[in-house]
Structure 1
Amino acid sequence: MNPRDLLAGLIAIDSVNPDLVPGGNGEKDIADFCTTWFQRNGFEVHRLERRPGRPSIVAVKKGTGGGRSLMLNGHLDTVGLAGYAGDPLEPRTEDGRMHGRGTFDMKGGIAAMMVAAARATERPLRGDVIVACVADEEHGSTGTAEVLESFTADAAIVTEPSHLEVTLAHKGFVWFEVEVEGRAAHGSRPELGVDAIAKAGHFLVALEQLQEDLANGPRHHLLGTGTVHASLITGGEEASTYPASCRITLERRTVPGESPQQTHQELQTVLDHLTATIPDFRATLTRGLARDPFEADPDAEIVRTLVANLDAEPVIRAEPFWTDCALLDRAGIPCLLFGVDGAGAHAATEYVDLASLDRLTDVLTGTITAFCDQDGGQGLPRSRGDESRA
């Protein structure tokens, strides 16, 4: 079993997330490919597909009993193919690198965890090995959320790219919409109109001040501070009319210790101050999608087991972006992130360093073997709900 050959097969399959790119192929074809591969390698395969055409695959090798269970997690979906330099679905190897959409983010991690799980279970282990190849991480993470309704484990490793560095924290995010209210009137009648766009300018200035305050505030030891920025702004109808409304979409990136409720109140305080001090300022705040930040326990057994399988002093890092680690952690599954080296996530050129792919596969194989043959654990933790799913 060669992770390089498996990765080439995965890259050749279009798995663009249709929530990001309307009409995207989704995960159905790559899920079929993974199902066949797992079945050929003796895994029990479950297909979870609450959203038609958006399946996640969970492959299980049951242990003999008495050991710890481990889940390996990675996402099958990719961002779009448009704008890629070259053929994004043609795996091209050059100078020790494999190029193609998803090589780095994150089909390299998928290939490594699949091969590692198969290698580690060539002889029976005491604990269960669970490999979750999930849908939709690039948009809403509905795949991992669905998996966690039916499966659990004593620990997990997410194989998002980390340059072979041990990632123990990442930021969360909260999306908000602020709608600033104006009053429509003909452009020649300023005494009747209220310019919602101009009023929104006061909020944008206050938002910039909030970002400065955050940057100068308390810092997380790995992640630094939270951030806030305006992402989208829309308003007005025509040149000769005072705009009745102006809508601003913004994102607040959070660090451990910051909650969606806290960030909501933070922004509401800003708006309340503007309402009290700026004539005719009125606005409503609506909270959208929120994802928690993540922080692993550096002394967790899965962290210590993986570090013990490295051949060098570990580099501990954190990521500014969000991953499914937060969902696993919230479900009570200790986890960390560890993946390949390379570059070009979401970019016009994307590649994985093939030596790092081999190294990741070896580290995961040793970690699975060591962790799942330890005493304790939940025995048969693979299912929280209906065990007949397949």
Structure 2
Amino acid sequence: RATGAEAAATGPAATGREATGRAGAAVHSGEAVASVLAGDVIVTLVADEEFGSLGTMEVLRSFRADAAIVAEPSELCLTLAHRGFAWFEVELTGLAAHGSQPERGVDAIAHAGLVLRALDELRSEIEAAAAHPLLGHGTVRVSTIAGGTDAATVAAACTLTIERRTLPGQSPDQVEAELRALLERLAGNVDGFRFRLSRLVARAAFEADPEWPIVRLLAERATEVLGRRPEVRGEPFWTDAGLLHEAGIPCLVVGVDGGGAHADTEWADAASVDALTEILTRTITDFCA
């Protein structure tokens, strides 16, 4: 149970991983209707959804579905879009020299500073572009930076990891080309600027069609359960809905209310777990009847 201010604000809440509430709702709704349906219900409790998504990728190799519901934290709102992402590594190669004679070397850390400045300019361009109605703008940022060997040596190498959050319609190939062009401009204008760009992981953004039958049906059943039309929104984070969408499976995201993601105090509102269970049960019953 939640304690203190959280309990006062939210009422009864189950502490522990918020995913437990979503998983429980999915399992209970599937059990409740499995014996009376004409169609099949596949409940998957997958691992690795926050990195390589190996669980969902394996599911997609083994099963096909007419529709999917992804239970991620949405506060019982309907998530019809979320950003994608791409992680890149940039290796800058300089030339080591004694710190007393820096003119004899090529400082890879100084070149990293030029990359940071260029990324600031790219960020301004991203924010000046037209905003997505549910997602706003994409983002770009440096996640890690490492370089140099000691205080008395000009850095011969510096490595940056860069995260680019993307919008629907922006492919990993497009944002990689954008980043490569930025680095090539620096290489053409700065003596000794040498780089190697690698794509680490990339996932496309997701956007549902509000007219898909699964979206319309779940919205109707959520309205019945909640007594109000659920809010439609987009999320800045990525979910496995992106993979399902790429595989041609109509889907949307809906999940419980809660907070404290990834913290020791992560929690889910108990009433929202009950509501999600009922919403899923009614939706599955009608979709697979």
After TM superposition, the score normalised by the length of structure 2 is: 0.93
Q: What is the percentage of aligned positions where both structures have the same residue?
A: 53
2:278 aligned with 1:362:
yes
8 A contact 2:11–2:269 mirrored in 1: no
Structure 1 consecutive aligned stretches of length 4 or more whose deviation exceeds 6 Å: none
Residue matched to 2:26: 113
- Which residue, out of 34, 42, 49, partners 1:137? 49
Measured against aligned partners, the alpha-carbon deviations of 1:154-207 in whole angstroms (never above 9, x if no partner) come to 000011111000110111100011111110111122232111101111111011
Amino acid at match of 1:297: D
CA distance in 2, matches of 1:148, 1:187: 55
Equivalent residue letter for 1:369: T
Q: What's the offset of the Cα at 1:137?
A: 1.0
Note the alpha carbon deviations across 1:193-251, whole angstroms, 9 max, x for none. 11110111111101111111101112211111111000000001011111111111010
Superimposed CA distance per residue, residues 13-32 of structure 1 (whole angstroms, 9 cap, x where no aligned partner) = xxxxxxxxxxxxxxxxxxxx
Distance 1:278 1:358 in 2: 60
The answer to whether residue 114 in structure 2 is matched with residue 202 in structure 1 is yes
1:1-390 aligned within 5 A: 95-100=11-16, 102=17, 104=18, 106-122=19-35, 124-310=36-222, 311=224, 312-373=228-289
- Flag structure 1 segments of 5+ consecutive residues without an equivalent: 1-7, 9-84, 86-93, 374-390
Q: Secondary structure at the match of 1:224?
A: coil
**Whose helix proportion is higher, 1 or 2?**
2
Q: Distance in 1 between matches of 2:219 and 2:192?
A: 59
* Match of residue 51 from structure 1: none
- Deviation at residue 125 of structure 1 after TM alignment: 1.0
Structure 1 CA distance, aligned partners of 2:11 and 2:276? 19
Q: Output the CA distance in 2 between the equivalents of 1:132 and 1:352.
A: 20
Distance in 1, Cα, partners of 2:80 & 2:164: 21
In the TM superposition, residue 353 of structure 1 has moved relative to its aligned partner by 0.7
Q: Helix, strand or coil for the counterpart of 1:284?
A: strand
For each residue in 1:316-364, what CA deviation from the matched residue of structure 2 results, as whole angstroms up to 9, or x when unmatched? 0111001000111111110000110111111232111111111110110
Counterpart Cα distance in 2 of 1:348 and 1:216:
38
CA distance in 1 between partners of 2:131 and 2:81 (Å): 14
Counterpart residue identity of residue 31, structure 2: A
Alpha-carbon separation, structure 2, partners of 1:189 and 1:161: 55
- Distance in 1 (CA, whole Å) between partners of 2:265 and 2:102 is 51
CA distance in 2, matches of 1:144, 1:371: 22
TM superposition shift of 1:287: 1.2
Cα distance in structure 2, aligned partners of 1:178 and 1:369: 50
Considering Cα pairs closer than 8 Å and 6+ residues apart, tell me whether 1 or 2 has the greater RCO: 2
CA distance in structure 1 between the partners assigned to 2:229 and 2:283 by the alignment = 16
